[in-house]
Amino acid sequence: MKDIARRAGVSESAVSFALNGRPGVSETTRERVRGVAEQLGWRPSTAARALSGEGAATVGLVLARPAHSLGVDSFFLQLVSGIQEVLAERHLGLLFQMAEDLADECAVYRRWWAEHRVDGILMVDPRTDDPRPDLLDELGLPAVVIGGAPDERHPGLSTVWADDAAAMASVVDELTGLGHRRIVHIAGLPGLAHTQRRIRTLRAEADRRGLSEVHSVTTDYSDAEGAAVTRRVLRATPPPTALIYDNDVMAVAGVAAAAELGCSVPADVSVVSWEDSALCRMVKPWLSALSRDSAEFGRTAARELTSLLDGGAARAVRVPVPRLTVRGSTGASAPRTVGGGATGRT
């Protein structure tokens, strides 16, 4: 501040007013001070700003999920790229941390709050009976819940949500229209709220159509579990004629596992991936998948958080329903017993 004041020919208090956007100096002085600051390469100290109550210019994101399950998780990578795009426009940093479980994640929030490390939180992977929203309300940390339910409202928390029920219904419509009656949903982590919404919707859609051989199996999202569950369900008697995977990584692993058992896609079993990515177009046949703009999901969440930081009201924002892109991995039902001959069409 002394260097800037000396070069700009003003007092140190005028420099403070100018750089912090406070009244007390003319626009001409403000521009001169900022010009000198730019020449000197000055940047605000986030530590000093936090100590003075002006904010840390940083938002936090904690992921309490097995690290190995991230792998090549296209959704999460695109989500973060969209978040970062908006934060960069505001010169805000993103503080990311992995956690062992929800208790560990809550401890991270408390530590960040006590240390003034972040101005707000982007909360992912909402759970059933989730303690985090109440904690964030208690701490007074503005937050956006990514993938929450619109009816779960908290005073300081916005929600950005996708209609998982409508997306699952569109997949079931497609598969049943192709004659499939035995469908297995190879789902993600069982405690996640969106996993439970997808499972409930699949069950409701099956009941509505009178389908008794439709069910879900939960996993950890990894390729290893995706392949293992695929082998297990395809060895059942009778095996399913269609598989719905909760991400692209498991779907690709599932296609490979089916091939090991002598099952052809889609002649013997149809495959749908919940997430679309380049992976879905690197296997033969290309995978039918639910497509959405995951980066825009992240941008929307980041915009909602910056709105809260600017004093805006909490609200629920819906992103477009994922759209089913039909490719070569889905076809008419023609089931067979694994390792045996065809059993005929249903």
In a domain, 49, yes or no: no
- CB burial of residue 1 (10 Å; 0-12, 13-18, 19+): middle
User: What are 21's two structure tokens?
Assistant: 């956007």
For the chain, first and last CA: distance in Å? 79
For residue 337, the model assigns a pLDDT of 53
Domain co-membership, 144 together with 193: no
Domain co-membership, 141 together with 228: no
Helix, strand, coil tally for the chain in percent (to 5): 45, 15, 40
180 contacts 266 by C-beta, under 8 angstroms: no
Domain co-membership, 197 together with 249: yes
Domain of 273, CATH number, reads: 3.40.50.2300
For residue 45, the model assigns a pLDDT of 55
Residues of the chain above pLDDT 90, percent:
71
Domain co-membership, 101 together with 125: yes
120-123 vs 58-63, strand pairing mode? parallel
Say which residue, 340 or 141, is predicted with more confidence: 141
Q: How confident is the model at residue 137 (pLDDT cuts 50, 70, 90)?
A: very high
Considering the chain, what is the average pLDDT of its residues? 89
- Segment 291-298 mean pLDDT: 94
pLDDT of 345 above 90: no
- Segment 124-150 mean pLDDT: 92
In a domain, 345, yes or no: no
At CA 339, angle to CA 335 and CA 345, rounded to 5?
15
- Segment 78-104 mean pLDDT: 94
In a domain, 106, yes or no: yes
Q: How confident is the model at residue 50 (pLDDT cuts 50, 70, 90)?
A: very low
pLDDT of 225 above 70: yes
Domain co-membership, 276 together with 172: yes
Domain co-membership, 146 together with 208: no
Q: How far apart are CA 61 and CA 105, in angstroms?
A: 10
In a domain, 336, yes or no: no
For residue 341, the model assigns a pLDDT of 42
In a domain, 332, yes or no: no
In a domain, 341, yes or no: no
Domain co-membership, 157 together with 303: yes
Residue 284 has phi, psi (to 5 degrees) of -115, 125
Domain co-membership, 256 together with 313: no
Domain co-membership, 176 together with 267: yes
At CA 88, angle to CA 126 and CA 160, rounded to 5?
25
- Fill in the amino acid letter for 63: L
pTM of the model: 0.79
Domain co-membership, 261 together with 179: yes
For residue 203, the model assigns a pLDDT of 97
309 contacts 120 by C-beta, under 8 angstroms: yes
Number of domains in the chain: 3
- Residue 345 backbone class (left: φ over 0; alpha: ψ -120 to 50; beta: rest): beta
- Give the DSSP per-residue string, 170-224: HHHHHHHHTT---EEEEES-TTBHHHHHHHHHHHHHHHHHT--SEEEEE--S-HH
Segment 157-183, tens digit of pLDDT:
999 999 999 999 999 999 999 999 999
Q: How far apart are CA 112 and CA 120, in angstroms?
A: 10
For residue 292, the model assigns a pLDDT of 92
In a domain, 305, yes or no: yes
Segment 140-160, tens digit of pLDDT:
999 999 998 877 778 789 999
For residue 139, the model assigns a pLDDT of 93
Domain co-membership, 155 together with 300: yes
| Cβ count near 266 (within 10 Å) | 21
Q: How far apart are CA 183 and CA 297, in angstroms?
A: 29
Helices 74-89 & 294-309, crossing angle to 10 degrees?
Answer: 40
User: What are 208's two structure tokens?
Assistant: 């509505």
Q: How far apart are CA 158 and CA 335, in angstroms?
A: 46
Q: Which helix (H) or strand (E) holds 59?
A: strand 58-63
Structural domain range at position 75: 58-161+293-321
Segment 184-220, tens digit of pLDDT:
999 999 999 999 999 999 999 999 999 999 999 999 9
- Segment 80-99 mean pLDDT: 95
For residue 346, the model assigns a pLDDT of 35
In a domain, 50, yes or no: no
For residue 51, the model assigns a pLDDT of 46
Q: How confident is the model at residue 68 (pLDDT cuts 50, 70, 90)?
A: low
pLDDT of 76 above 70: yes
At CA 294, angle to CA 292 and CA 295, rounded to 5?
135
- Give the DSSP per-residue string, 147-172: T--TT--BTTEEEEE--HHHHHHHHH
For residue 285, the model assigns a pLDDT of 96
Domain co-membership, 117 together with 135: yes
Domain of 13, CATH number, reads: 1.10.260.40
